[in-house]
Structure 1
Amino acid sequence: MHDFDDIRSRDGGTPPREVLTPSSLNRLVRDLLEDALPLIWIEGELSNVARPASGHLYFTLKDSSAQVRCAMFRPKSGWLKFRPADGMHVLVRAKVGLYEPRGEFQLIAEHMEPAGEGALQREFEQLKARLDAEGLFDPARKRALPRYARRIGVITSATGAAIRDVLSVMARRWPLAQVDVLPVPVQGREAPPAIVQMLRKASASGRYDALLLTRGGGSLEDLWAFNDEQVARAIHASAVPVVSAVGHEIDFSIADFVADLRAPTPSAAAELLVPDAHALRRHLLQLQQRLVTLEQRRQQSRSQRLDHLLARLQAQRPQARLARDHERLAHLHRRLLGVQRESAQYRRMRMERLQARLLAQHPRQRLELARRRLQELSQRMRQSMERRLERDRLTLQQTGRALHAISPLATLDRGYAILFDADGKVLRSAQQATEGTPLRARLADGELPLTVASAPPKKSRAT
């Protein structure tokens, strides 16, 4: 590269700012592609499908005028719900990238689905969400099926396998039901209008107790007539209950959600619409047996009641009544004697209690009690006075000791003296005495007359 720059410089040309290598150019192109198209959906036809031992999936996606190489790496290639093959029309979600070893751009697939089914599935989900928001799927509006339907209208293809299964099951289970086949196309563009018209006609006729909308299994495209919005609204507006049995057990259609009852298969729908005659016969036999048993029990109960009434009638004869009255009289006589004995015993005990109370109220008894009470009170008063005197004596001693502790005389006993002037006032300061002033000194054992020999010097005040 340096030699090339030198040649360009010698030739008079302007050297480039940067010279790229194939690797750096590929990285630049890859970054530009990934930034411009981070994630896209692309639809086309599969070709050159290859799945090597590594588990990755390599294929080409093409249309009538172009093609692009694609790769789907593990584990996403193992999550596919179908087996990709050449010629299939698919919808792919992918990122745009660059395969640097060859300098070719390619798609790195993250998800793949059959194109037709994917679009139909999205349309199905959108319609389902909208009708659900309007309340067409509300369980509260669904009606119960009649227990014993007399007339049933089956809206389906007259030549399909579904009608044969339905008629076979109904004939076996409940031959009494009248089944009318209401033929309509169940696939293609003409199917939805025909189904709507037949639903309205059957509902308005007032002839049927229930309607069955059914067909056999198929792909999502085959069953698409039963995902039509007008068909759903016709089912919702039906005046009689509608049972939907579209496809196999794993298939679900909009008609299934709107109908009053969804059956997994046409045969299952027939079993839900009519009862089982054999089971009903067994049930009737059981009811008959229960009725016979109840009647036997009723007869037995009536027989027992008659026996009881006969016994009561025999008990009402005059001899029996006289015997019962005699027995009752003897019982009452025994009770009377017992009551008399109890009354006499009660009066005797009451008299003894009154006599004891009367003796307790005699004057001698009351005087004796009063004398004992007086002695007891006198003893208690004397003891109380002694305790009170003792408490007062102890209190007086404690008070005397306390007064002596704070008395000036106790202070004098320790060698101190109190000075009085001629007027008998206590001398509290040396400045109160002048020379020649007579004083009296009070000691613990007496007084001494004193005279001040010289006046004490006066204290000077600080300025």
Structure 2
Amino acid sequence: MTTETAREQTSAEHPWPVRTVARKIADWIHRLGAVWVEGQVTQISARPGTQTAFLTLRDPAADVSMTVTCPMRLVRGIEPPLRDGASVVLYAKPSFFLGRGTISLRASEIRPVGIGELLARIERLRRLLDAEGLFAPERKRRLPFLPKGIGLITGRASAAEHDVLANAHARWPAARFQVVNTAVQGPTAVPQIRKALSLLDADPDVDVIVIARGGGSVEDLLPFSDETLCRAVAAAGTPVVSAIGHEPDSPLLDYVADLRCSTPTDAGKRIVPDVKEETARVLQLRDRARRALHGWVDTQCRLLDQLRSRPVLADPLGPIERRAEEVELHTERGRRAILATLSTEQAAIAAARARLTALGPAATMARGYTVVQYPDAEGNLQVLRSISEVSEGTPLRVRVVDGAVHAMTTTTEPGE
């Protein structure tokens, strides 16, 4: 019956009663065929005296479950007996319970998944993830030297939680943890661990995430080989540490995690440094730095002593005093040379002055000679050198030693 057909047959004025809807749903579901289903068994209810056993089949990678009913003989005939968390493959047909309106699977065959099959599936998944590069060493990130916050995913009040916290705080008492308790086995483990991983990965105060659990059987550790969990760890932006205490068979989480620790105790020792070791290392480095500084100072002091011992620095004023004496000597020599040169030049000047005086017209006029001048055509006075330069009536200026006399030419008389 399709939705359009049901809509045509019903209306607000003519609705179907609940029994009709339930019956039609049952008819549709009962027409479905049987299917093979795989999951983990939880909440087994097989009470004595009853003919029907009730199981809950849960998907290990998602928060999805379905109710399964089966004849009691199927459950009792399984060896070893079924227990919570067991992986099974069953052949069942969907069934609709009319009285409660619920859907369940009616199983006619139940096959437990053996350890060999589980290990073979894990091995096939390991090869697949390895081929995709999820195990590659180059994609693994180094843990921070001192994380400001550490996320811890583990079981509630478990020995693994105690071991991680106790050892980490023993090494670094100030280590800050954000603990998220989840199921670490069974069908609910993977969804809870993935949710906790997403929560811690989104927290900016968490620098490293530790997923810890103590030892256990292969079935108990199946959640840590789940494909969805491995891919979630590989996609996390925060470094993840795997601390599953099961050495013989490592779950796939150990290969995907950025760091694998053999036990939760080992994880507590490797996620934080040892405060005693770091204190000793700081003291050692300080001592080395102090020795290096003292050695450098000593070297520089010896170098300064060597420089001070050199003659030029041992008596720094001596060369200056010697040079000062040389400067004074050369200054005196220069002064004497200049004075000698001045004396020589002064004597030469005096001799030249005497010669000029003797040869000058003033000295000649002092002996009784005169200088006669006449005006030329332009009125400028010219020295009279010949009687031909004047005529009668020419005014004359007669210069003597103490002045000048003005005269007039009356006659000229040629010489012998």
The TM-score normalised by the length of structure 2 is 0.49
The TM-score normalised by the length of structure 1 is 0.44
Larger relative CO (CA 8 A, sep 6+): 1 or 2? 2
